[in-house]
Amino acid sequence: MANTFALILVVLTFVTGIIWVIDKLTWGPARKVARQVAQDQAEVGLDEKTLAQIHPENVVIENARSLFPVIAVVFVLRSFLYEPFQIPSGSMMPTLLIGDFILVEKFSYGVKEPVWQNTLIPMGSPERGDVAVFKYPEDQRVDFIKRVVGLPGDRVVYKDKQLYLVPACEEAQCGNYKALDMQFLGDQKFKDEESTMQLYSEILGSVAHQIIVNPNRRDHVAYYYQQDDVKTVAYEWVVPEGNYFVMGDNRDNSKDSRYWGFVPEQNLVGKAIATWISFEFYRDANDLLPTWVPSAVRFDRIGSIK
């Protein structure tokens, strides 16, 4: 769906742009000359309505000429600068909630062409702790959002709900696994979760953020992604060059790199930088409104994303 919309936008921009240019260079001047000739030959002055009937403008040309500037601005903004996304699931709770509308900076990881995501101008790379949007490796029509945990060359371990990391290093200089700093903040009940969750503060790289853990749910180690080319245990991964390991902040309710593997650099869409609006969709038993109609605006959630 995401690639389809990008392709449609490219085609519309190209087609309306071509029509706009031809009209500026050929059709527009021809209309102007024909109307000027008619004005010169008339014994009385012709009003605008009468002149418009002389060499009339085709309705397709008129609409394309009017739409092109708007479509061109949308194309540049969405393809190369910023793009809005809606959070459809709770996998990034408590950082992002269902109903959050976020703004993604498209050029954070390089300026890319909008359809096949090939990098045109390298700009930067993801850092540990970034909240990144990317094309889901198993279905690139779908956009995913997760937190970047492992960079190329890192060793990542997730065991007993604790994240361990060894940053990329030379083989002779590699250190031992180090557990990420976690501080228990208390039990908390979240609207979209069935049971009470444990809330933690975690430091990943230079980013301090919150995660939630379900103490009653076991890690599904049997379903973890297994690397064929690297000798590791079931809950350990070595991030290949040009790839990234990502996880949801809702650790027990996230379909992420633990289950399907790594995110290729080419799949990166951009960095989530802010929540620009957030809607509550809660409905009580007596509310007959459709569930997709917002019931409130969560103003306290508007702002930057950590």
Token pair recorded at residue 164:
């361990």
> Residue 65: CB partners within 8 Å, gap ≥ 6?
16, 19, 20, 23
Q: Are residues 66 and 91 in the same domain?
A: no
What's the pLDDT at 211? 97
Q: Are residues 29 and 107 in the same domain?
A: no
Q: Are residues 9 and 151 in the same domain?
A: no
Q: Which domain does 229 fall in, by range?
A: 87-304
Q: Are residues 10 and 62 in the same domain?
A: yes
Q: Are residues 191 and 175 in the same domain?
A: yes
Q: DSSP per residue over the chain, as a string?
A: -HHHHHHHHHHHHHHHHHHHHHIIIIIHHHHHHHHHHHHHH-SSPPPHHHHHTSSPPPHHHHHHHHHHHHHHHHHHIIIIIEEEEE--SSTTTTTS-TTEEEEEETTTT-EE-TTT--EEE------TT-EEEEE-TT-TTSEEEEEEEE-TT-EEEEETTEEEEE-S--GGG----EEPPEEEEEEE--TT-SS-EEEEEEEETTEEEEEEE-TTS---GGGS---SSS---TTEEEPPTTEEEEE-SBTTS--SHHHH--EEGGGEEEEEEEEEEEEE----TT--S-TTS--EE-GGG-EE--
Active site residue 146: yes
Minimum mean pLDDT range among 43-47, 122-126, 130-134:
43-47
Overall domain count for the chain: 2
Q: Are residues 148 and 292 in the same domain?
A: yes
Q: Are residues 62 and 211 in the same domain?
A: no
First to last CA, the chain: 28
What's the pLDDT at 170? 58
Q: Are residues 55 and 93 in the same domain?
A: no
- For 237-269, the pLDDT digits (tens) are 999 999 999 999 999 999 999 999 999 999 999
The more confidently predicted of residues 205 and 226 is: 226
Catalytically annotated residue among 106, 112, 146, 271: 146
Q: Are residues 275 and 128 in the same domain?
A: yes
* Whether the predicted pLDDT of 288 surpasses 60: no
Active site residue 178: no
Q: Are residues 139 and 222 in the same domain?
A: yes
List the beta bridge partners of residue 83.
104
* Whether the predicted pLDDT of 138 surpasses 70: yes
Token pair recorded at residue 196:
């009470």
**CATH value at residue 95:** 2.10.109.10
In this prediction, residue 61 has a pLDDT band, given cuts at 50, 70 and 90, of confident
* Whether the predicted pLDDT of 278 surpasses 60: yes
- For 2-38, the pLDDT digits (tens) are 577 888 889 999 999 999 999 999 988 888 887 777 7
> Of 53, 80, 107, at which residue does a domain stop?
80
The more confidently predicted of residues 189 and 50 is: 189
> Of 47, 62, 80, at which residue does a domain stop?
80
Q: Are residues 258 and 149 in the same domain?
A: yes
What's the pLDDT at 43? 63
- For 147-189, the pLDDT digits (tens) are 999 999 999 999 999 999 988 875 555 667 788 888 999 999 9
In this prediction, residue 141 has a pLDDT band, given cuts at 50, 70 and 90, of confident
> Of 57, 80, 103, at which residue does a domain stop?
80
What's the pLDDT at 173? 59
What's the pLDDT at 231? 79
Q: Are residues 33 and 145 in the same domain?
A: no
* Whether the predicted pLDDT of 284 surpasses 70: no
